[in-house]
Every structure is written in C-alpha cells, then in structure tokens.
Amino acid sequence: MLDYDREADAYDATRGGVPRAEAAAAAVLGLVPDRARTLLDIGCGTGLVTERLRRPGLRVLGCDGSYGMARKAAGRIGGFVVLGDVTRLPLHDAAVDAVSAVWLLHLVPRSEAAVAEAARVLRPGGVFVTTVDKDAGHDVDSDIDTVLRPHRSFAAASDRADRIERYAAAHGLRPTGGAEFTGHGQGRTPRGAATALSAGRFRSWFTDPHGATARALAGRLALLPGQDTRRPDPSYTLRAFRKEG
C-alpha cells in the first residue's frame, strides 16, 4: 500500500493528470440528479477529480484519510475538505444528497463498511456513485494482458461489481444506472508493467508478487516489442445507487 501522505505531491503526475480527472468527473456528474444540492466525495485524494465535480447549485465536499492528500485537496476546493476514515465518516445521518467514490473501494478491505457509511450520510432519494472492478478495467486485451491474464484473479477484489451491488442492497441502496469513462494516461508499457511486477505491485490480483512466477512473467514482458510504447488506456466502470425512502 502506498504511503499517501508522502505520495501526495507527486500523485497526480503518475495517475493520468487532468484528462483522466475530467473524464471521471463528467461521468460521475452524469449520474448525479439535477436536484442534488450537496455532494460528498469520499477518498477524494488530491482533489483533482473533486474540484471538477462542480455545477451551478451543487456544493461539493471532500473527505480523505490521508493528511497529505486532504491538505492537497483543500488547496484546490477551499475549506470544504475533512480528514476522516471512509468507513466512519465524520458526518451526521442524512447529511448530503450525493456521495461519490472514485478509485476507492478497491483499496478498502472492508468495502461494505464504506458502502454502509455512504448510505448512512445520504438523504432519502440521494445517490451513491462509485467505481467498480477497477483493476479488471486495466485488461485492454493487449499483448501485456496476454502474458498476465492466466495469472490474474479478481475473485477477492473488494470493489467487484456484484459484491458492491450486494452491499448496496443490504443498506437500502438500489441500482439506478451506470457509466464508463476512459482512464487517460494509464495505458501500460511492457517495461512499466515488468517493473511494477518486480516491485511487488498488482497485489490485489496476483498472489505471488515476489516469487518465481513474478520473475518469469517480468522476463516475458521484457521480450515484448515497444517496451516504452503505451498500450490502450483502461476503461473504468461506474455504478449508481439510490437510497430508498
């Protein structure tokens, strides 16, 4: 797991920057009803997406568990950022009209608790919008994926769509739509994938990050053509859920 306090200043440059953030924000806003007046972006990170979740009449708040990230976000969206655990949000019940969680739940082992908290702070009729299947979205059927796919398993992913839908239903949230958007700047290169694999990344789906299999796969990736040529960008999936009542 990254040290997000230390990564805050350099984080955006390694995550697709503004184009990726704009695509995410536009897709989220497309699922937030026009009547919404307050939106809480949980796991807001540096606020790069959060500051773009704006439209007339909508007040946007951010929440993140990392002081470094929250400080960065506060610089972007003003004083409307709180430091807090997404599984224990520092808000009253029925406090906001919408909650968004972009690239968050795959990092939260207790993702049901985060979904439950989103439901708690939503007003009746409010909407929870979240990315699902984040890691699976990086399989773009490239030659890199051909090498890695036999060793992938997303069965335990904490943001698996069917799992999030089940949690949502258990906490009074019903499906109300979905969308997809492009992860601009996140296409992988063979060299980058090999380096990440050798460094023990991909822990969410690869069960042997430092073993012989990882070394063998990194070796196969090193033989692919265009070592520094990015493969297609991933496509991310959003799901929206409406609170009953």
**DSSP codes, 76-118:** HHTT-EEE-BTTB-SS-TT-EEEEEESS-GGG-TTHHHHHHHH
Q: What is the pLDDT of residue 208?
A: 67
Give residue for tokens 């019940």.
93
The predicted structure's pLDDT at residue 8: 46
- At 15-40, the pLDDT tens digits run 557 999 999 999 999 999 999 999 99
Of all residues in the chain, the percent with pLDDT exceeding 70 is: 91
| Every domain of the chain and the residues it spans | 4-134+155-186+234-243
pTM flag (> 0.85): yes
- CB neighbour class for 58 (10 Å; exposed up to 12, middle 13-18, buried from 19): middle
**Helices 190-198 + 212-221 axis angle, to 10:** 160
Judge whether 38 and 98 are in contact, CB under 8 Å: yes
Which residues, 6+ apart, have CB-to-CB distance to 166 below 8 Å? Answer: none
196-212 residue pLDDT tens? 888 877 776 766 666 78
Superfamily of structural domain 4-134+155-186+234-243: Vaccinia Virus protein VP39 (3.40.50.150)
Nearest to 134 by CA among 101, 93, 164, 106: 106
